[in-house]
Structure 1
Amino acid sequence: MSSVVDESVTVRRVAGALTAYACGDALGVPYEGRPPTEDGAEVIETPRASDRWAAGATSDDTALTLLVARCLVDGGGEVDAVTFLSRVAAQDPPVPGAGPSTRAALAAFRATGAVPDDREGGTNGAPMRALPVGWSVPPERVDLLVARTVELTRATHRAPEALVAAVVMAGCASWSVSGAPVAVVVARAVELVEVARPVCGDAPRLAGLVGAVVAGGWSPPPSGVGLDAAETVAAVLHCVRSAGSVRDGLVAAVRCGGDTDTVAALVGGLLGGGSSAEAVRAELPWSGLVAVPDAGVVWRLASGLVALRESVR
């Protein structure tokens, strides 16, 4: 009976994480590409349109993260890079707002039908869509977490720093929905960098930034958080480490400036893992004004991901 209860609790946590991820994405969209801001929470939390997005819209971050979750569930956890790229390429209409590494990978795939054998793709699209992998794997199966993350990430991002960044975010997500305190989730990031190294290669910049965050010695760059994978992970961990709630974390992420939708989405995905979808919506009353995925879809994906998680214990 206890395992059934534990599984149900984890499903609720994954649903909360996915809901908070989409909320963070939508909150960050109007501030994307802008410098850091001191806007008050009441201003940041008022959905409005940007040059590219309607008020309350989520971006490619949520679209691709949902696609990763669907691929994992549909494939029983066995998803390869070619299958993932095929599904991205088949989206009609195409995924809006995809980043430079993803666009380049799609162009190459359409031309050759294969995943390039290179070390290109170092942007933050790698960690951005990694959380569902962590939701599908328990923390003790770090070998499977690394393998599954790398296979799904290399479809578009093959630079070592990006691959390791994806592993770090997937691992943090796995710990988050296991009920680990925020301090533990952040501390695990240091270990995950080392665990990923034999498979992904060295990531010295990421290792240095993560270490600085854990030691409390990192601050967001004055120009805002860029598309660099390592910098994005540092910003996410910085916001998570200092947040008192999901709401606090999302507002802090937007205030960092730069790629605010990705940072806020990942912050929401990690902090929301300690809650439920209903609790996230109650804490974020403005969530009713944004394009959060349908509750039924969220629950089905969460249930499928947690079934995968339980099957490999």
Structure 2
Amino acid sequence: MNEVVTDGLADRVAGAIVAFACGDAAGVPWEGCAPEAVDPARIAAIPTGRGWPAGSTSDDTALTLLVAEHLIDSGGQGEAVEFARRLGDRAEGIRGLGPSTRAAISRFRGTGQLPDAGNTNGGPMRVLPVGWSTPPRAAEPRRRSAVELTRATHAGREAQAAALVAASCASWSLAVEQPRQLIDIAVTEAEASTGRLGADSSLPQLLRAVAAGAWSPPRSGIGLDPYETVTAVLHCVHTATSLPDGIARAVLLGGDTDTVAALTAGLLGAWHSAAEVRGTLPWSTRVLLPPPDTITRLAAGLAALRQRGPTRL
């Protein structure tokens, strides 16, 4: 796969961040719903859900921004212990943390140790900034950071393999011409990552089924399994006709709608600036987005890391 050099890198990273938050907010009201319970006509309305203020984002956005901040502050070195410390310091202000992440935070606070369990989708959910901050040719630094930032809360090999796939797709989303190219990248990374980690080998087959149009989502909705989540995201990215369509497809799958929609939008958003994302998603005015200066600062910092990436090989 050839890398395409593009202008406006920081603008595209900002677009991906804004899109991620919008996907998260679109999915929040429907989290836990069966697919048939999701009303497609109301997705863009961003109705109130889970007792949170309308337009709220979840831990998905909060943790993704925290990863971005950590990477920038550490010069791209995503150390697990340092991230666990930072997460522990911020956890009280983060709404919607999942069970594995909460357990990991509790263990770290009590013992200073990283978890020895945790195999859900919390790792791939927050790892896109690792990909945005590393060029495709910096595969080994990207893999190291993705594993480190996952094992801070999730020790499971499948969680880490899924995170490697998500980070690889995020890296290439800023370097290829079309979103549909990401499925081949995902299959290649899944083959490599499951082998190197000794993880369950079913992920490449699931992604090949997506590429062939032969994958069927579970009728009960997308669960917290990391392979199921990443497969659902790549399905939405591969079949989407636009950013709004990708978000709608993700929410209509039901289940963990905020995570699937956030990751789908975060990947598709990389083809747009922040202004373009807002224009493409007119309902984004109802989303409680991060402050504009925060988005600009993080996007610029991640882009700067990516541009000096070869020095970290």
Give the TM bin, normalised by the shorter chain: over 0.9
1:241 paired to 2:241: no
Question: Equivalences for 1:150-161 in 2 at 5 Å?
Answer: 150-161=147-158
Match of 1:288 in 2: 285
Q: In structure 2, what is the equivalent of residue 37 of structure 1? A: 36
Aligned to 1:3: none
Residue of structure 2 equivalent to 1:133: 130
2:120 matched to 1:107?
no
Preserved CA contact (<8 Å) 1:17 1:268: yes
TM-score by length of 1: 0.94
d(CA) in 2 for partners of 1:34, 1:113: 36
- Aligned partner letter, 2:58: S
Deviations 1:176-231 (A, max 9, x none): 11243112112100100122235422232322211211221102110000011000
Number of residue pairs matched?
A: 306
Deviations 1:113-150 (A, max 9, x none): 1213x3x2110111100100000100111111111100
Which secondary structure does the structure 2 equivalent of 1:126 belong to? helix
Residues 114, 92 of structure 1: CA spacing in aligned structure 2 closer, same or farther, 3 A cutoff?
closer
Partner of 1:23: 22
Distance in 1, matches of 2:275 and 2:36, equals 29
> Residues 179 and 274 of structure 1 are in contact (CA less than 8 Å); yes or no, is this contact kept in structure 2?
no
Check conservation: 1:29, 1:53, Cα contact below 8 A.
no
**1:64 and 2:47 are equivalent in the alignment:** no
- Give me the TM-score of the superposition, normalised by structure 2: 0.94
Aligned position for 1:74: 73
Over 3 Å counting, the alpha-carbon distance change for 1:171 and 1:92 in structure 2 is: closer
> In the superposition, relative to structure 1, how do residues 60 and 135 fare at CA in structure 2: closer, same or farther (>3 Å)?
same
CA contact (8 A) 1:7 1:306 kept: no
8 A Cα contact 1:10 1:178, kept in partner:
no
The yes-or-no answer on 1:219 pairing with 2:216 is: yes
% identical aligned pairs: 51
Moved more, 84-93 or 266-275: 84-93
**Cα RMSD for the two superposed structures:** 1.5
What are the equivalent positions in structure 2 for 1:1-313 lying under 5 Å apart? 8-37=7-36, 41-91=40-90, 93-116=92-115, 118=116, 120-313=117-310
State the AA in 1 paired with 2:244: R
Matches of 1:244 and 1:125, distance apart in 2:
27
Whether the 8 Å CA contact 1:127–1:169 is kept in 2: the answer is: yes
Q: Which runs of 5+ in 2 are unaligned?
A: none
AA matched with 1:152: L
Q: Secondary structure at the match of 1:65?
A: helix
CA contact (8 A) 1:249 1:268 kept: yes
